[in-house]
Amino acid sequence: MTTPFAIKAYPEMWEGLDMDVARFDKARQMLGTAYEKMYLSQSNRPQAMAYFDDLMAEIFGRRIEELLAVKKEGRPVVGTFCVYIPEEIVVAAGGVCVGLCGGSPGSIPDAEKILPRNICPMVKSAYGFKAGKICPYFQAVDFVYGETTCDAKKKTWELLDRLVPTYVMEIPQMKKGRDKTLWLEEIGDFKAKVEEVCGTTVTADNLAKAIVVINDKRRALQRLTKVRGSNPAPISGKDALLIEQMAFYDEPVRFARQLNELCDELEERVRSTTGVMPASAPRIMVSGTPMALPNWKVHNLVETAGAVIVNEESCIGTRYFKDLIDESRTNLDQQLEALTDRYMQIDCSCFTPNNERVDQVLKEYRASNAQGILHYSLQFCHTYNIEEIKIREACEKEGIPYLSIETDYSPEDVGQLQTRIEAFLEQIRG
């Protein structure tokens, strides 16, 4: 008899982190049940997914122990919500950069005691996890990195700072020369902040090594994206999404090694035309707002309906790893400039104009051999909801089957979404 999947419990450690242990433990059990139902029920999964299943089982246990060991050594642990954090600087200082909770409806009631209801659910979810003391990552970090990619975020960081030290970086809203100058100065200030927290100096040698470490993680994720372009797809979109989400939590060297081992298996599957679904299954690309762990709602609906998701154009997906940093720079000032150049290529919807993102969506659509685009927006995410108009117009011009979804984290609209997704897939099947 197969042992039921469980996310491991570490009550004593959670108690030491001043968490609401009883409440968090209920959420842990519910998450384990959902993971088993959505993930372990899949057929013909790659064997190397076992590592990521184990990582999920230990997501609130062994990984937290590793972070606490880093803190005990006097190295910083920095929490983040956004792909704009120059994580290479944290790694160069000997620290750890880790994603924070923000993809679940369970913490939103805690946030709505303080925050307005009509703002982004991801912002509310993140704030609620700290306010309710129901996220061990929030409890373990030395400080949180915030940014100004949207109004809800930048005002919430002011309140979050009352609960945990929160450092905010100004993200330029355009990509002119003066905006690059601003971002370069912001990166320099962030470097000074990290050095202050960890009591060390970021050197050119350490930064060069850190750039390679994070580039290697990005290269492994690029490799996964490339192999997903094959038909039949060698891995499900749900499994690929999980891996992309785990990229923000796992130790980067280990993560890249394990992902490359998985990609070896996937490339062998491609050679033997072994897929997780038939070659006739509709191939869908998802574009839009990020899907923070454990937000698997749309992927589960699409793939339960018989399609396969082959790409995520989002901050949890290609926007995070499509660009590398120039590794040839050896001077610290040149390295910081190379960092700036790379991060300025991120095409977040906070930028205006943002035609690069429209072009990128079409480029990734073709590279992934997709047959339709599903644009996913969170409620009250004004920049993505408005920019969706340009994405839709571009798809209409190219004759690309297209569906736009605006939703939140609750299960209340699952039936409605299922109906719309099934109709969309029937349109593709013809």
pLDDT of 4 reads: 86
Q: What is the pTM of this model?
A: 0.97
**pLDDT tens-digit map of 179-202:** 999 999 999 999 999 999 888 999
pLDDT of 101 reads: 78
**Cα separation of 64 and 139, whole Å?**
10
CA distances to 4, 33, 160, 296, 300 from 37, in Å = 10, 6, 34, 12, 10
pLDDT of 267 reads: 98
pLDDT of 2 reads: 63
pLDDT of 3 reads: 74
**Cα separation of 260 and 407, whole Å?**
33
If residue 24 lies in a helix (H) or strand (E), which one and from where to where? Answer: helix 21-35
Strand partners, 402: 373
**pLDDT tens-digit map of 329-341:** 999 999 999 999 9
Are 100 and 136 contacting, i.e. CB atoms less than 8 angstroms apart?
no
Owner of token pair 């108690």: 15
**Cα separation of 360 and 346, whole Å?**
11
Where the chain has pLDDT below 50, the residues are 1
Our CA dihedral for 177, 338, 315, 144, rounded to 10 degrees, sits at -100
- DSSP string of 284-343, one letter each residue: EEEEES---TT--HHHHHHHHTT-EEEEEESTTTHHHHS----TT--SHHHHHHHHHHHH
SS3 state of residue 115: coil
If residue 168 lies in a helix (H) or strand (E), which one and from where to where? Answer: strand 166-169
pLDDT of 198 reads: 85
pLDDT of 369 reads: 98
Amino acid at 29: Q
